[in-house]
Structure 1
């Protein structure tokens, strides 16, 4: 049986942009991004997990937290 040559099929070009616009960071994420390095600098030698936990506790009581006191 003779082999059939495959024809090249043009690929679809995506009309979507290559990079989607970034979402605005939440207040919580902004707080963590700012406070975590400060906490780590102040408490040298603390593991990341423990530092993250302590900063999360700080967030719970922060005036920036809209759910504080609930």
Structure 2
């Protein structure tokens, strides 16, 4: 039963997020701050965003793809 409720909450959260007005493109936009401000509105998506955005950028894959040896 809890799984069904959790699934519905996740679906609703995604729907609510997709209905949100888009932020205007600006050079000073801070995606981490946006999620910090909106994490109470979208707690599950907020956690997912923090997990994904916390992954450091890496050049290892591109260096490996272009290495000759």
TM-score, with structure 2 as normaliser: 0.28
Larger Rg computed on CA atoms: 1
TM-score, with structure 1 as normaliser: 0.27
